[in-house]
Chain A
Amino acid sequence: MKIAKISNHQLFSLTACNSIGVALIAISALMVRIAKQDAWISAIITPIFGMLVMLMYWFLGSKYPDETFVDIIRNILGKWLGLLVGINYVFFYTIIGCHLPWYIDQFITIAALPETPTYIIGLLFMITIVIAELYGVETIARASEIFIILISILFFLAMLLVIPNARIDNLQPIFEHGLTPILKSSIFLTCFTTCHLVTLMGIYPYNIADIFAAKKSILKGYLFGGFIIFVTIIMSILVLGQNITSKLQYPTYVLAKEINIGKIFTRLEFLIALVWIVAIFIIGILFFHAAVISLAQLLRLKDPRKIVIPLALIMLVLSEVILPDIPYYANWINLVWIPYSITIALIIPLLLLLVFSLKNRIFNKKISKCIRT
């Protein structure tokens, strides 16, 4: 089978869509609850941590340019330990992938179609993802190139239109509670915008045409995503104020409801909803693709497309089970997702790098000893 190769601009748009994603519509509530009106400062300092994580992924991939993530793990850790860690990753991709149909279900039933059963919306979402996955990586990457233009135009349009409602005194006083809440909330923001980018490892070293130019496009995509999140958070604080923002479930959506120019341009909130749904769609595809590819690599299948539809069926059923209700979700996402995502996206790749460099050092010493004697 011919390996699909994607260009660097496509990698940029995939990374950007992926890091905007889940955080766009809901994160500012949590951020503002912790850091009050200073949340926008933590949105500035978060990309500094995130860039380090991105550099780590890039470095890991650049050492094995022609292999998939599971193969990299196997190469570094050996057969059995590699299998264990690989299963861990497949579990992560599948289980967290189930959250995305759930997000769409909840949002659509709350905001637009209150009487539609949730599983119908989830079914439609999963069908689209399956079709995208069957078409392959190149199609997904090209779609994301179109989506990033759509996302940027709609998002900045909505934010420009809401500017007349902004009040600068909502930001004051700056640094009211000191630096600690800002740092705390930036941990949360890192987990929501950076940690699920580990799904990029499903396509990253294996499907990239030019691995050394990829560094720049990953970082650029990540920074673009970070900038959009920064704009959402600062606009939520400016327009809604920290008190209201912290109590809403979908602050950015309510923010777009505030658009009111001459009583003609009103009810433009679905601009934001569209941006979010498109971004979630890209994340959903990337999670699903990573799950399929990792599972196929673990089982050493020749044709990963055979397991796409059965896996989608499992994920569709699990998406109804996995988060029973919104209080459960809020509890789970705050108390469990943060440590879980840090383990999967930060600690394990860091350990992989450590083992890799140790192995290299020991190996090189042996070679140099052989040469000396």
Chain B
Amino acid sequence: MAAVGIFTVLVFATVLSIIEIPKMLQGKLYKELWAFSILLALGTVLAILKFLDVNIPNPSDWIAWVYSPVKDFMKSLLK
């Protein structure tokens, strides 16, 4: 299962790059190229880690940490 998933993601990323990158080079959209590559690399890495069952840090926990001081107040509202 994991191997199939990783393979699919890699194929998807390669095909997308093959289609999109020449267009951006032609249009001289270098900023777009940077943003596209970084986001796609991030997405691919995240997907592969997910398929390998690695614990990905959860952004909801970061938000929960930021708002932990008001937690007790929220609990009192819920009663």
A residues whose Cβ falls under 8 Å from a Cβ of B: 34, 91, 95, 184, 187-188, 295-296, 299-303, 306-307, 309-311, 313-314, 316-318, 320-324, 328, 332, 334-336, 338-340
- B17-31 vs A, CB cutoff 8 Å, 1 = contact: the mask equals 000100010010101
Q: For the complex formed, measure the closest distance between the CB of A33 and the CB atoms of chain B, giving whole angstroms.
A: 8
Report whether over half of chain B's contact residues are helix, strand or loop; otherwise say mixed: helix
Report the interface size for chain B: residues with CB under 8 A from the other chain.
32
In angstroms, Cα B47 to Cα A334, docked, is: 29
Which residues of B are at the interface with A, using a C-beta cutoff of 8 A? 12, 16, 20, 24, 27, 29, 31-32, 35-36, 39-40, 42-44, 46-47, 50, 56, 58-60, 63-64, 66-67, 70-71, 74-75, 77-78
Q: How far is the CA of A324 from the CA of B59 in the complex (A)?
A: 12
Closest-CB distance, B9 to chain A (whole angstroms): 8
Pairwise interchain contact B39-A307, C-beta atoms closer than 8 A: yes
* Nearest-CB residue, chain B, relative to A324: B58
Which chain A residues lie closer than 8 Å to B50 at the CB level? 317, 320-321
Contact B31 A299 (CB under 8 A): yes
Question: If the complex has contacts A314-B46, A317-B47, A321-B58, are A302 and B32 also in contact, measured as CB distance less than 8 A?
Answer: yes
B49's nearest neighbour on chain A, judged by CB, is A317
Grouping DSSP codes into helix (H, G, I), strand (E, B) and loop, the A interface class, with mixed when no group exceeds half, is helix
Checking B36, B43, B60, B75 against A306 with a beta-carbon cut-off of 8 angstroms, the contacting residue is B36
The answer to whether B60 and A317 touch across the interface, beta carbons within 8 angstroms, is no
* A34–chain B nearest beta-carbon distance, Å: 7
Q: Which of A302, A332, A338 contacts B60 (CB 8 A)?
A: A332
Inter-chain contact B74/A318, CB cutoff 8 Å:
no
Contact across chains for B20 and A306 when beta carbons are under 8 A apart: yes
Which chain B residue lies CB-closest to A337? Answer: B63
A184-B77, A321-B50, A334-B74 are known contacts. Are A299 and B60 too (CB-CB below 8 A)? no
The listed residue with most B CB atoms (<10 A of its CB), out of A311, A314, A317, A334, is A317
Q: Are B31 and A340 in contact (CB under 8 A)?
A: no
